[in-house]
Each structure stands twice: as structure tokens, then as C-alpha cells.
Amino acid sequence: MLIRGGTSKGAYFLASDLPSSPQERDPLLLSILGSPHPDQIDGIGGGHPLRSKVAIVAKSTGAEADVDFLFAQVAVDKPLVDTSPNCGNILSGVGPFAIERGLVSAKDGSTTVRVKTLNTGTIAELIVATPGGAVSYEGDARIDGVPGTGAPILVNFMDVAGSVCGSLFPTGHTTDLIGGVRVTCIDNGMPVVVIPANSLGRTGYESVADLNADTELKGRLEGLRRAAGPLMGLGDVTEAAIPKLSLIAPPRNGGCVTTRNFIPRTCHTAIGVFGAVSVATACVIPGSVTDGIAHINPGDKPSLSVEHPTGEFTVNLELDRSGDQPAVKRAGLLRTARLLFDGQVFPHPQYLTPSAP
């Protein structure tokens, strides 16, 4: 199935329909999406990281979840398949997919699908609209970055702190000085390097097109990213999709913070789910680089509007303030998803291999 999940689009497969070995699976996925090629003209990829994603789903073998989900970021212009990160947007389509494929039985009204993300070991609950026992994609929910409206999918994340790096602040500090720039390295579902835009001589309000054309800035950001990787326990991240980078500035439209996000070398037209959760979490932690930039309302269940180039992304955090610093017990958000296509895809007869030039 081809499904738009949140502000991303991906190919969703049953695990049983793909090779289990990454050595066989990854070349097949590259061929199906048409990588490496900037337009992915010979595959079903969309020529952009947000439209070059894959979900691999199976009925869960454990009691903690209904289905297991492996996310794969397929590089557009490189023969690379990265299963180290997670993707909350593609995750939002896993609930409908699991019901459509019969992995989860739908209830009348709404159906809760518990998903274990194999990339990070995290558990999420997806509440999917199923009137009459069938998935509905029609509704009044609206998310920025997607035209029109759709049925709401409520996504609740539990215990995602350090899901990739092992701790919320993988360097051991709320701020670090990297390349002469003060940053916050955080992992609350997605490893992100949070960077005040003014520390790089930018406002943080530039357009996506201007930032993508700013070769001097992108070169400096890549240098910061590669330096942050080992400090965050990620090793050499030259070919990896993580950590992501988020330039931040004071909000302009009544939100918490303004962001410009790189995933990791292309500026995002919006912001990813886990990227938004990690940035929002940094905003409620005293001593992070968001101090003096983010606008926070007090309370143990803050609703934080993370502004991005095409609108905003609201993250609802439930905090535990009993320790030295706030801990996030739950992160909730609203997404929509839509089934675009259900059918058979034909890989190229000669698979591209990960070592191909």
C-alpha cells in the first residue's frame, strides 16, 4: 500500500512479503523506490526524503503490542537504506494499514492499535476512526503541511526518552559547545541537535528554498552534525539519517518556538513527529539552548505549538516534576493518514545493490 502518513508518504509492506535478510531486502527496496536517482524516476519514490520512506509491518509476537513496525528511510540519491531512526509520520499510517491488512480487528467507532517500533523499541498507541468496523479516512481534522481534512489519528507515545541514544541528553549535558556553537543534543524519540538560529547568523525565519540554497550554512550544519554524532553515541554519522538538526527562533504566531529543520541535509517544509517531540521537550527543560527563546506556559500537561515553515505542530506533554529536572511521561499528538494506492509494485529486474556507485 502507498499511504500518506502525516506529512510524509511511504510504501507499506507486510513483513512476510519481503526478504527477512537486510542484504536481500535493502536492494529490493532501493529498486522499488528508484534509488539512487534524484528524481527516483524509475521507482515509486517521490524524489524527496519525505516521500522516500518504507514501513514494514507484522503481527507482534509479544503481548505488549498488536503489531511490530520497522521503519526504513530510503536515501534518494544514494544506495542507502537506514533503519536506525524512527518516523512518527509514517507510524501514523501503521494503524490503518494493520487494520486494512487484517492484522488487527476493527471495532465499531474507533480502534486502538498498539505498535512496537523495532528501530527503537518504543511503544505507541494509535487511535484510528473505524465507524462500522472499517477504517475511515474522512473527517474534520486538519494538520499543517497537508491540504484538506481527514479522520483524526491520535498518537500517544510512552517512554520514548533516549529511545535511540540511550538517554534524553546523550552527551550528559543540557548544552554542549560544538564548533564554537552552543547547542542542545536531545533524544526524546528522535536524536536532534537544537541550534539557536542567531548563533549561525540566521534569523530562523528564512524560507525553505533560501535555506536549501544556502550552501555555506548547510556545510556548517553538516560539520556540526558529524561532530555531534560521536558525542551522542551514534558514531560516524556521515551516511546516517540521524541526528536531525533544528534551528530555533522565538515564535512569531503565538506558539512556543519557531523551527527550521534539516532531515538531515535538506530543510523540511514542516517538522517530523519525533523531531517536534524532541524540540518541544528541550523547550521545557531548564538550561537548554531554548532558554530565552521558547515561550512556555506553566503546567504539568503543557500543550506546545512548534511553529514550522508551513504552519505549526502541537505536542501535548505530560510531565513528571518530582526529580531534579522535568521528565516526560507521555507525548501525545494528532495526525491524519490516507490510503493512496493498494496494488502490486514491480522492482527493476536488476536490483541496485548498497555498494553500487
Question: What is the residue whose three cell numbers read 525553505?
Answer: 208
Q: Mean pLDDT across the stretch 80-98?
A: 95
CATH assignment of 176-317, given 3.40.50.150, 3.10.310.10, 3.20.20.140, 3.50.30.10? 3.10.310.10
The domain 2-152+337-341 having CATH identifier 3.10.310.10: the answer here is yes
Could you check whether the bond before residue 36 is cis, i.e. omega within 30 degrees of 0? yes
Tell me, what's the pLDDT at 357? Answer: 41
Question: What is the distance between the alpha carbons of residues 308 and 259, in angstroms, rounded to a whole number?
Answer: 5
In this structure, the strands spanning 8-14 and 2-5 are antiparallel
The yes-or-no verdict on residue 97 having pLDDT over 60 is yes
Helix-then-strand count for the chain, H and E:
6, 17
Closest CA to 126 of 111, 141, 137: 111
The yes-or-no verdict on residue 103 having pLDDT over 60 is yes
Tell me, what's the pLDDT at 243? Answer: 97
49: left (phi over 0), alpha (psi -120 to 50) or beta: alpha
The yes-or-no verdict on residue 73 having pLDDT over 80 is yes
Question: What is the distance between the alpha carbons of residues 5 and 90, in angstroms, rounded to a whole number?
Answer: 5
Question: What is the distance between the alpha carbons of residues 243 and 165, in angstroms, rounded to a whole number?
Answer: 10
DSSP string, 239-260: T-S-SEEEEEE--SSSSSEEEE
Residue 231 dihedral angles phi and psi, to the nearest 5°: -65, -30
State percent of the chain over pLDDT 90.
85
In tens, the pLDDT along 300-348 reads 678 899 999 999 999 999 888 888 877 788 889 999 999 999 999 999 8
Three-class secondary structure of residue 47 per DSSP: coil
Tell me, what's the pLDDT at 160? Answer: 82
The yes-or-no verdict on residue 149 having pLDDT over 50 is yes
Tell me, what's the pLDDT at 328? Answer: 83
Question: Does 176-317 match 2-152+337-341 at the fold level?
Answer: yes
- All three cell numbers of 71: 521503519
Question: What is the distance between the alpha carbons of residues 221 and 231, in angstroms, rounded to a whole number?
Answer: 15
The yes-or-no verdict on residue 355 having pLDDT over 70 is no
Q: Mean pLDDT across the stretch 224-230?
A: 98
> Which position has the higher pLDDT, 162 or 93?
93
Listed range (156-165, 188-197, 226-235) with the worst mean pLDDT: 156-165
Tell me, what's the pLDDT at 265? Answer: 93
In tens, the pLDDT along 240-290 reads 999 999 999 999 999 999 999 999 999 999 999 999 999 999 999 999 999
Where exactly are the structural domains of the chain?
2-152+337-341, 176-317
Please give the mean pLDDT across all residues of the chain: 94
Residue 278 dihedral angles phi and psi, to the nearest 5°: -70, -45
Instruction: Please name every residue paired with 188 in a beta bridge, in sequence order, or none if there are none.
Output: 161
